[in-house]
Each structure stands twice: as structure tokens, then as C-alpha cells.
Structure 1
Amino acid sequence: MNSFKKHYSRTLKSALGLLLVLPQLCMAQEPARPIIQQVEFKKDTLSISNCGAKGDGQFLNTASINQTIRTCSERGGGVVLVPAGIWLTGPIEMQNNVNLHLKRDAVLLFTKDFDQYKLVESNWEGEPAWRNQNPISGKNLYNIAITGNGIIDGNGGAWRMVKKSKLTASQWKNLVASGGTVDPKSEIWYPSASSLKGSQEKKAGVIRPGTTIDDFKDVKDFLRPNLLVFTNCKKILLEGVTIQNSPAWNVHPLLCEDLTLRKLSVRNPWYGQNGDGVDVESCKNVLIEDCTFDVGDDGICIKSGRDKAGRDRGKPTENVIIRNNVVYHAHGGFVIGSEMSGGARNIWVEDCSFIGTDIGLRFKTTRGRGGVVENIFINNINMIDIPGEAILFDMYYAAVDPVPLAGEKRSSVKTITLPVTEETPQFKNFYIKNIVAKGASKGIFLRGLPEMHIQNIWIEHATLEANKGIEIIEASQINLKNIVLKTTENNPLIAINNSSAIKLDNIQALDAPELYIEVAGEKSSDIRLSKSNTKAAKTVSQFIAGSTNKSLTIKN
């Protein structure tokens, strides 16, 4: 009987151990990659010049272009040709089965006459809002495209506010002399008094019970549109064109399905406020490939709505393939958040280069968002000259530029534990491998919440040249393997605070650090460091702020 009990006990322990391992094994298995349906068009072609449009940069072509698009769609679809010229226009509305094709020497230039853009019910940073009509838009459409090698210019300089801190003294002087108005602190230039007034209102334009369009007319100039917005559309292609100088975001697909972005050049001034490259929001089945971004905010960004509005919508961005892209200036090369309240899942990012982006891989959220971001697969990413972190997870996003300006002081995060609710965001199940970063402020930074750790993150085969090495705060089940670190400020090389189940395997410091690993916080536990060159350090380990040496196991 005793032998039976021992056998039963061993069997039970084995079974329980297997149950603990199985979830990680299942999570590590990639889901099937999506198949993105592609557009098809009739070869019939209508030129906007045959419908009264003039490419002289003076004539306003809004009516002619929209009429050409409507006629093409009513005839069963085809190609609407934008030939050589500068085609000044107001808002363009796409229609079913139309491919708007720009010749290489064609410039579609949107007017800076704000009166041409009516206030419409739209969306701003994940919430329903009144905004000026988008320069290019489409809603509830099927089989649409914008192709060619021409330029789409949003004339965004007429709309955007500009911070004095981001310009030289002469640039600021010239901007102020051009017109517009400056805020009372003389820190930000606005294109009009209406724009300045809107900046002083909390969530200007956001639709709230009891408000109407009339409540926002006095701040109309502040309600900048995104340049190109497709909402609830299926089978979309954007290919070849240059999309630049947006009033706010450049490209914003919302609630779309079967979307392809290919060989785009997306540009904005580096100081362009909210000048994101592409924000894919609550979309399904997306391919972004062979594109180049050089913008004023995040480069390639995944979103799914903000706070309660996003949770109520309940539409994650899912089944996304991002490959063979280059991002130059941007707040982040590849970004998820911070408006991710509907969740994001099943996303592949591979074979991309980030050159001078503030942060390389940037995953951001904050309390109040809710939402689950999971099953993210990242492979073969190169980074050069990253002013901030090469890889960043941060659940304390504060809506500020990721890299402080010279002399800027920011308060440190105050750590408190709150109850877990539907407003608590989650980051889990990220698989990141084959990363090279040559120049960054910090190699890896993970900061979760006390009540909701960042969980199950795998980073393997990375060579990171940075000022500082690795910092992990409020995280669990973190696996770092085969990481090479070349640091200049290496005290400590690895810092861990109130985190558990941390596995560090084959971490190699190219330059001998003063302190290899520092553990902080009484909640830190089950930290395992193995096959690493700890003996190169003057001091191997240090325990502070309530941690003890029981939290760390080292095996070389």
C-alpha cells in the first residue's frame, strides 16, 4: 500500500508538472498565418483631366476628381488616372471598385483652406469624435486601391501646432512671423486662434452625451484630420505612392479587412505633432511590406481603440504580417498601443530595419486601457542609432515624447497596486529573436504593473550595443537567451525589480561590468542566471530594497 501511495504521489506530481508546462508549449506554437485577399479591377480608365480637372496648382479640383471617381464606380469600376501635374483639391471620397492611380510626376495636393473640410463624425485616437473631414476617405467600401508612383500631400503644415523646443531660433522666428498665434507661455505655435482655443479644452471634439456639432465649431481648426482614412472597408490596396505631410496621422485604416500596404513611402517632418506613419486600428488580415517610413511620431503602429470606447467596440487588430520595411525617424519603429483597448493578437514582424527611431520595438499602454496584447512574433530586426530603448515594454505610458529633450525633467513613476478590473491592460506571449541594435540608450526595458505583470516574454539571439543593458520591473516568466551586451554605463548590467520566474541563459557582456546583476524588491523570486560570463564582473550580484540572495540562482 505504501509503495502504491508513493507511485501515485510521483505520478500526480508529474502530471501537475506537465500541466504547468503545457500552457507555455501551446503558447510557443505559432498560429497559422493569414491569407490576405487581394483587389481586382477592370482595365477601364478615366482620367480626371477629361472631367474638367486642371493640374496647374491653382484650380480647385475637388468636384472634378470626386465626379470622376463616382462615374468610374457607377460603370462597374476601373482605374481613375491622375496624370502629371499639381492637382489642388479638397476632400476626396473613394468609391467601390476604384483604383486611384497617380502617375510618377503627379502631385495630389490638398488645400489649406480649412473651409473646404466640413466637420464630420469621425474617430480620434481611438474614440468617436468630431473632426475635419479627412482629405481622403472611404466608408463601407469594397475593392478599392490607391496606386502608382505619384505624391499625395496633405498640406499638414497649415494644420499642425509646432513646439518651439523642436525648432532652431531662426526657424521659430520665421514660423511666428508667418501668421498664426502663440500660446501664453510662448512655447507652442498654433495656426489660428481657433486652434489654440481647442488645445485648451480637455478632449476637444470627443463626442459626449448632450453635445452637437455646434459645440465644436469654435475650435474647428484644432480638430485636425488624419490624411487617409478607410473605415469598415474590405479588400484594400495602397501601393507605390508617396504619402506625406499629413495634418495628423498619415494612414489610418479602421475596422478594415484584407488590407495590403506595399512599397509605400510615408513621410512627415520629424517635429510633426501626431504625425504617425500608419496606424492599423481594429483591422483583420493585414499585410505591410516593402514600405519606407520617415515621420514625426510612431512609424508602424497597431491600435484597437481607447479605454471604454475601445473595449465596447471589442475589435482587436489581428492576423497581421509586417515584413521588409525600413523606418527612419519615428517615435517607435514597430509599435503597439497605447490605444489597444480592443486587444491585438497574431502579429508577425520580420526582416525590418529601424534607423534612428527614438525606440526600436515599442509596446506601450497604461491603466484604464484594458485589452490583451498577445501572440506577437518578431524576427530579424536591425536597429542603428536608437536614442531610447532598443526593446521597450511599458505599462506606464504618459503621452510624452519617448526621449526627453535637453534640460527636460520628468517625475519618476509612483508604484501603487490597484485591483485588477476590465481597465487593466495585459501584455503576454511575445516571441522576439534575431535582433541587432548598434547604438541605443538601453538594450531591453520591461515595466509592468504590480497587479498585472508583463508575462511570458521570450527574447533570443540578440546583440545589443547600448549605454545600459537590461532592466526588468514587475514582470513574470521572462526568458532571455543568447544575449550579447556591449554597454558603456554598465552598473548594473542587469537590473531586476519585483519580478519572478526570470530565466537568463547565456548572457554575455563584451565589456566587463562593475556589477553584473542587481535584484531589488521583496517580491523578486526565482531568478535564474546560467551560462553567463559573470566572473568578468568586479561584483557578481547585489540585493537591495528588500530582496535577498534566495531570489537568485547562478549556474555557470
Structure 2
Amino acid sequence: MGGGGRSHVVLFMVLATTIIGGESRESGYFLDAEEEEYMATSCRDYAVSVERFGAVGDGVTSNTKAFKDAIEHLRQVNSSGGVLLYVPAGRFVTGSFNVTSHFTLYLHRHAVLLGSQNMEEWPLIEPLPSYGRGRDAAGPRYSSLINGHNLTDVIITGNNGTIDGQGENWWKLFRSGKLDHTRGYLIEIQYTDQILISDITLVNSPAWNIHPVYSTNIVVSGVTITAPVDSPNTDGINPDSCSQVLIQDSYVVSGDDCIAIKSGWDEYGIAVGIPSKEIAIKRFTCITPDSAAIALGSEMSGGIKDVRAEDVTVVSCKSGIRIKTAVGRGNYVKDIFVRGMTLKKTMKWVFWMGGDYGDHPDDQYDPKAIPMVDNINYSDIVAENAVMAGKLDGIENAPFTGICISNATIDVVPSKLLIWNCTNVSGIASGVTPKPCPALSTVGEAPPCSFPENRLAIEDVQFRQCMIKL
């Protein structure tokens, strides 16, 4: 599942007649007439190389127009089996472009998409309705490198090809306060059903890497994401007001949370009211010294529920699972299940949750919008070299309830700090070392914390062996 297939490449000289914008152009050049096998949820019966539309993979030439022309051509193709845009070996500089429905973007194993250093090729767009403003700054925001809106059946895949956001200049501008608008992401797909992002490498995003929002039936599989661990806000995978999501067999090195599940910000998220729910995370590895492997929030004002994570490896992270919320967020984080997490090297907190994440879009939030946190389950946890086992801080007069921790062995480094710090929380603990705080009533031989026996529908997604023929 999710693995790239073998490549069989035949290159030959052709005299190609390419139709672009209704005009015919003849040119003699090497055209990739490739046959590549790959696994995906949908196969396509019409494929074309971006080189047919004038793209040049020299690492210098801007190919934004070529990508837009190619996708517009594919949008107009009458193909019942869908369409595919092939990116061959080379380094293709491009600014933002939009994808279409029943569409696959496929990157050859030696293909690199390079985010343009010309900020004008990342045009400004409106803020998301559930945020009311850009995340970095008020007002509009820069578009993402790859965008999609109101689509069905979108696939971004390859034989481990690379999308490089070339984010260093964005990070410098952000740190120096010279950006007037929010940075773009590498991939943002909105209001879309059926998204597959698989078998690619994402590096150096200006900010978040993968951001599906207001979407359903999403699979992220076999993806590698890397950025310097001090890069600002380079979250790995951020499902936002999404349902039926599967994240599996992926690896993230990040300057922020490796996975952050969100659903809108304060009054704007409450008004839109689309929760993130029914999310499965499996066989996932994270490195992020200053953030969490999996974060819930802080923008969670549409609600977050039914998140299931298992077989997670965490290396040198600030925390394993973090719940971030605040007065003004409203709604809930509930029915969270984590089973089988291994935390290695230095950890600050294995378990971390707080109700004081006081970051608001404006001063119009409702101070009576108190979030509810309930039914949080952690089992089969092994951690080494932690500064503290847990920092659990609920909200005064609105405690976090139903916390369950079972079968957890935490190696805490010698320290003058508390081993556990618990306020405004309640729950139970079973088989936990070191002994948890009194707020988690210790139960002797109680059964482990719950984990759903049923499977989410998205966990049974079927992959097919597909063939590209150009």
C-alpha cells in the first residue's frame, strides 16, 4: 500500500505537434515517452508531460505558465478515466498553480519542483473563512505552491520525486518582521473529496507543508517531509476541518508540530463549524525538538474528535501528544486514542495539554466560549530521557476530564522539577511509571485505556497498480 512501483523508461526522438491555447506548434526535441508503474487510488487513461507545454528543468527558468497551461489543457480533456500531468527528471522552478478534478500530478524520481523565489509568483488570496485573517498577519495571505478548490479525486504522487519550497528567504523575512502577509504552504487543497498525497518528498516549505482543509477522504502515505528544526512554522501535515483522514508510513523532520489537527480559530472557526474528525495515524515517525509529534489545536474552534494514532516513533521532540486550546476557542477536543508510542532521546514532556494557549486572531473572540476536553486515552507508551512525565493544565472551572493513561513506562532524568504537574484535570492511570499525579487516580489491574475496535472507512482505502503511458 502506498509504495512506488518500478520505472521502465524509454526515451526517443519525436517530432511533436503540441496544442497549447488552441495553437499548433511543431518542435523537434526529446520527449519522455515513459512507462512508469505506481500505486494510487485512481488510475488515469490520459497523460501528458509538462515539457510539452514549454517547461524547462534547468533550475532557473520560471515554469509557472507551463504548469498552468498544461493543467488547463488537461481540464478540457474529455477523459472518463481522468488525467495525469507528468513531471520528468529535472529541476522545474514554478510559482503557484491550481490543480483540477480527476487529476494526478506525478513526479519522476529525479524530478524536483522548486518554489519560485519571485514572491509575485505566489499571488495573494483571501484568508480562510474559519480563520478570518492570515495566520501570520491580518488580511490576505500568499497562495500555496500547489492549490485546489472544490474538486473531486486529486492525487499528488511520484516515485519519491521532490517538492522544494526554497523557504529560507521566507523564513528570514518572517523572522525580521518584513512580511506583511501570511506565508504560503506547499500543498493546500480546499473543499475537496478524495485526496491522495503519496510517495513524494517535501522539503523547506515556507510554512506548513500539507494542508487539506474543509475536505473529506484524505490519504497521506509514504511521504517524507524535512525542514531545518529551527525553521518557523514548518508543520508537516495539518488536516484542518477535515474528516475521514489516513496518515500512514510517513516521516517528518520539522521546525514545528509534525502533525497538527485543526478546525478554525476562535469566533471564525465557531461560525464555520466544521470539525476535524475520524482521523487515523499509523506507522509515523517525527523529529521536532521544539514542538509536538501530534498536536490537537491550537486552532480547534470547529471541534476535534475521534482521532486514532498507533505505532508512532518520536525522536527528540518537546512532547509526544499535545492538546492546545484556550478560552475563546469554544467547542471540544474529545475521543482521542493513542496506542503504541515510543519516545526516544530527550523529551521535555511526554504528555502535554493546556488551556492557556492565548493566541487570538483579534479581540472579538467570546470569553464565554470555553473548550471542552474529554475522553483522552493513552496506552502502551515507552519514553526515555524525559524532563517531566506530564504537564496537564486544564481550565479553571472547566477541567479537562476523562484522561486515561495505561501501561506507560517513562524514564525521567534526575531533576529538581516535578515529575508530573497536573491542575484542573481528572482521570485514571493504570500501570504507569513513575507514579502519576493524584488527579489521575491510580487503578491497580484495570484494563488498558480504550481504543476503538471498529475501523474508519478510510482505513480500508484500496490502492491500484497504475501505469503511465505518454
Structure 2 length normalisation: TM-score?
0.79
Higher RCO, Cα 8 Å, sep 6+: 2
Deviation at 1:471, TM superposition (A): 2.4
> Where does 1:422-437 land on structure 2 (aligned, <5 Å)?
422-437=368-383
2:166 aligns with one of 155, 168, 171: 155
Structure 1 unaligned regions, length at least 5:
1-37, 162-179, 181-187, 199-218, 400-419, 486-492, 508-556
AA of the residue aligned to 1:136: I
Partner SS state of residue 114, structure 2 = strand
Map residues 345-384 of structure 1 onto 2, 5 A cutoff.
345-384=305-344
Cα contact 1:125–1:339 (8 A) shared by 2: no
Q: Deviations over 1:1-44 (max 9, x none)?
A: xxxxxxxxxxxxxxxxxxxxxxxxxxxxxxxxxxxxx8423232
Contact 2:245 2:280 in 1 (8 A): yes
* 1:481 lines up with 2:440 in the alignment: no
Residue 156 of structure 2 corresponds to which residue in structure 1?
146
Aligned residue number for residue 59 of structure 1? 61
Pairwise CA distance, 1:189: 4.8
Aligned residue for 1:57, secondary structure, equals strand
- 2:99 corresponding residue in structure 1: 94
Residue by residue over 1:177-213, the C-alpha shift from the partner in whole angstroms, topping out at 9 and shown as x without a partner, is: xxx7xxxxxxx853xxxx52x5xxxxxxxxxxxxxxx
Does the aligned pair in 1 maintain the 2:436–2:442 contact within 8 Å? no
The aligned residue for residue 294 of structure 1 is 253
**Equivalent residues in 2 for 1:128-527, closer than 5 Å:** 128-129=133-134, 130-148=140-158, 149-161=160-172, 189-190=175-176, 195-196=177-178, 198=179, 219=180, 222-329=181-288, 331-398=291-358, 422-467=368-413, 468-476=418-426, 478-485=427-434, 494-496=436-438, 502-506=440-444
Partner-residue secondary structure (3-state), 2:267: helix
Q: Distance in 1 between matches of 2:47 and 2:259?
A: 33
For the residue of structure 2 that corresponds to 1:87, the secondary structure is strand
Give the direction of change, closer, same or farther, for the CA distance of 1:139–1:387 in structure 2 (3 Å limit): same
Structure 2: distance between partners of 1:127 and 1:454: 28
What CA distance in whole angstroms lies between the structure 1 residues aligned with 2:436 and 2:71?
58
The 1:160–1:123 alpha-carbon spacing in structure 2 relative to 1, beyond 3 Å, is farther
1:244 shift after superposition: 1.5
Which residue in 1 is equivalent to 2:466?
Answer: none
CA contact (8 A) 1:360 1:386 kept: no
- Over the matched positions of the two proteins, sequence identity in percent amounts to 28
Shift in Å, 1:240? 0.6
- Determine if contact 2:129/2:268 at 8 Å carries over to the other structure: no
Question: Does the Cα contact within 8 Å between 2:429 and 2:436 map onto a contact in 1?
Answer: no
Query: Residue 346 and residue 472 in structure 1: after superposition, are their counterparts in 2 closer, same or farther (change >3 A)?
Result: same
Distance in 2, matches of 1:379 and 1:55, equals 45
> Which of the pair is proportionally richer in helix?
1
Distance 1:127 1:303 in 2: 15
String of CA shifts for 1:67-100, please: whole Å, max 9, x gaps.
2122223213322110000001111211111100
Query: TM-score w.r.t. structure 1 length?
Result: 0.67
Give the deviation of 1:426 after TM superposition.
1.3
* SS of residue in 1 equivalent to 2:126: strand
Structure 1 residue 441, shift from structure 2 partner: 1.2
Distance 1:124 1:314, change over 3 A: closer
Aligned residue number for residue 413 of structure 1: none
Write out per-residue CA displacement over residues 257-306 of structure 1, whole angstroms, 9 at most, x where no aligned residue: 00000000011111111111111100010000000000110111110001
Aligned 8 A contact 1:483 1:506 in 2? no
Q: Deviations over 1:100-152 (max 9, x none)?
A: 00011110001111122221113399334411121110000110110011100
Q: Is 1:73 aligned to residue 75 of structure 2?
A: yes
Deviations along 1:406-461, one digit per CA (max 9) or x if unpaired, are xxxxxxxxxxxxxx975101110011110001111111221111110010011100
Alignment partners' CA distance in 1, 2:175 and 2:192: 36
1: CA distance between counterparts of 2:90 and 2:103?
21
Residue pair 1:350, 1:380 contacting (<8 A) in 2 also: yes
Gaps of 5+ in 2: 1-39, 135-139, 360-365, 446-470
Query: Which letter does structure 1 place at the counterpart of 2:326?
Result: T
State the distance in 1 between where 2:220 and 2:74 align: 23
Aligned length, in residue pairs:
387
In 1, Cα distance between equivalents of 2:182 and 2:296: 24
3-state secondary structure, aligned to 2:58 = coil
Greater mean deviation of Cα atoms: 301-310 or 358-367 = 358-367
Partner SS for 1:152: strand
The answer to whether the 8 Å contact 2:326/2:371 transfers is yes
- Note if contact 1:461-1:482 (Cα within 8 Å) is conserved in structure 2: yes
Q: 1:448·1:475 contact (CA, 8 Å) conserved in 2? A: yes
Q: Which letter maps to 1:42?
A: R
What per-residue deviation string (whole Å, max 9, x for no partner) do you get for residues 521-554 of structure 1?
Answer: xxxxxxxxxxxxxxxxxxxxxxxxxxxxxxxxxx
Which secondary structure does the structure 2 equivalent of 1:50 belong to?
helix
1 CA distance for matches of 2:307 and 2:315?
22
**Aligned 8 A contact 1:356 1:385 in 2:** yes
AA of the residue aligned to 1:112: Q
Residue equivalent to 2:14: none
Q: Which structure has more strand as a fraction of its residues?
A: 2
Give the Å deviation of 1:397: 2.1
